Structure 1
């Protein structure tokens, strides 16, 4: 008699040949000690992601078109578990995750209107972005939403709010959690459910590109803009930049550049202290520099909206 499926893992994948083997190996190694299934939803990969995933004997289905939200929803449609675990194709489970998942399952069974998971930890190395940004995000653990790279909830809640919003190309997890709280769900991050994310950017250029991608939904409409603190900060940054250009025109390049540099130094320092309250002082300057790269990336999101570069082909 086959074991009843309790947990369904939903993994969207697009050209993840470099990551999918490690992800599935770790998943099977540290899976919950209950019946589980793994559903890999390929989103039109052009590499051998599908072939590599099929070697594990898990369910591999195709959803070549649609947003990442649509891909996740498609995976849920074929799932059979009452607990849904969404992870990205470059996220690895740990022994600590396995040790704590059964309690999580029990908590969700008691309260199906629960969303949990944790911020993904970066690889354990000395990369500046990992040390002075991503690790600090994990340690702050103050998020009001759970990132869909590692989000756990019940099928009951998922159905109640009709899953992820398939019109969103990014920030679908934030929207999911907002609608869930409106449906009286509880958002409860659990740092003991530790996972690692191998796909974090390792250079400033990659980091800016990542934030450029993540920020575009913030400028989709005036409503989304005014509902996003980050979007309002970006608008303020654009105003500072335009004022700096005016100063260059009126008083010369040195005056304009100095004004912009001093303004951004104060702004990023203040934002960093606010975002990472309690973080080590020796990290403050490096983290502030990364915060500036974050602002640049999000500003490019606004530029993409204003120049209509946000196309249907954007992934």
Structure 2
């Protein structure tokens, strides 16, 4: 898929695609970080693809060396495809408009992908909260760095070595442009479009290289309402995607819904028998799980806010589980974000 360049060959051209929607408050931060890359200025282009913003996103983008493209009402998948269609680069990198990348980001990604084995579809790394983000967002980042907070998903910075994985987060990834001519994002998908594409790639035998050093800063949920809404949205979308393929894309995706159903059955059984037999056992199991996650979060954050981990974990499971059930029973054939 890729070839190592000789010492005298120029760096390959890279197209960086930034998908955005109503992100006037953050997209400038993203584009500023892309303007400060150590990669040669004439060897990369920045393409901003907008889903039809109603705020000042276009005005902010106009202040930077980036081309602006609109897919009015487009999903994230459709916007990513427009970026691919517009790209001139040998490689196509993606980050999001609520992220900031380090100055060495492109250099690191390109050095990894040039000469990579043919079965490597791309290179990615973790996304972490901004240093000046609210304490709640940092707590969410630490929670998602635990096996119970993310199912061991590789965007977690808890993975501390370079390894092959089946999927990476699309806010921090580079692909070979030739591969994207054959494999495209599903234009109907607005959440989880990267997971769906990467599932198809993994089914075809491709893998990604995850490098924990190549990290980007990402504005995570700043409050409880945003956190629960996102969890429900992810559950909904994952169910719709898995219905579409008829396969389990994420091994852990049905677990929250199954836990909700099991807990309800256990509570009803205890009520019927008027004996507390099942619920205490389930409660003890959850205390063990959440206690382990709390210890991990505290080691990472060193803050008493880690004591909120059991509450956040329960809220995430419940909202994801509800969203997953909604996605399984939804009539519409298209996975969409929730209002």
TM-score by length of 2: 0.76
1:245-273 residue CA offsets vs partner (Å, 9 max, x unmatched): 41464266988875664353345457x49
> Which has the larger share of helix?
1
Q: 1:45 aligns with which of 50, 53, 57?
A: 53
Is the CA contact 2:166–2:207 (under 8 Å) kept in the aligned structure 1?
no
How far off is 1:91 after superposition?
1.1
Give 2:191's aligned residue: 170
| 2:315 alignment partner, one of 265, 288, 293 | 293
Question: Residues 185-235 of structure 1: CA distance to partner in whole angstroms, max 9, x if unpaired?
Answer: 23101222221112x012233222111111213322286574432232123
Does residue 75 (structure 1) correspond to residue 83 (structure 2)? The answer is yes
Could you say which residue in structure 2 is the equivalent of 1:6? 13
Pair 1:102–1:164, CA change in 2 (3 A): closer
Cα separation, 2, equivalents of 1:134 and 1:83 = 29
Question: Are the equivalent residues in 1 in contact too, given 2:46–2:65 (CA < 8 A)?
Answer: no
Alignment partner of 1:62 is 2:88 = no
Deviation, 1:90, is 1.0
State the 1:301 CA deviation: 0.6
Gaps of 5+ in 1: none
Contact in 2 for aligned 1:9/1:38 (Cα 8 Å): yes
Match status 1:208 vs 2:216: no
The alignment status of 1:314 with 2:337, answered yes or no, reads: yes
Unaligned runs of 5+ in 2: 1-9, 147-155
Q: How does 1:254-265 map to 2 (within 5 A)?
A: 261-265=283-287
Query: For residues 25 and 280 of structure 1, what CA distance do their matches in structure 2 show?
Result: 28
8 Å Cα contact 1:14-1:44 kept in structure 2: yes
Residue aligned with 1:174, SS: helix
Matches within 5 A, 1:259-274: 261-266=283-288, 268=290, 272=293
Matched position secondary structure for 2:88: coil
- Name 1:197's counterpart in structure 2: 218
Does 1:140 pair with 2:163?
Answer: no
Instruction: State which of 90, 93, 96 in structure 2 corresponds to 1:85.
Output: 93
Please give the root-mean-square deviation of Cα atoms over the aligned residues, in Å: 3.5
Deviations 1:123-173 (A, max 9, x none): 125725524324552122575311111111111111122x11223332221
Contact 1:240/1:260 (CA < 8 Å) preserved in 2?
A: no
Q: How does 1:92-103 map to 2 (within 5 A)?
A: 92-97=100-105, 100-103=108-111
Q: CA deviation at 1:292?
A: 2.1
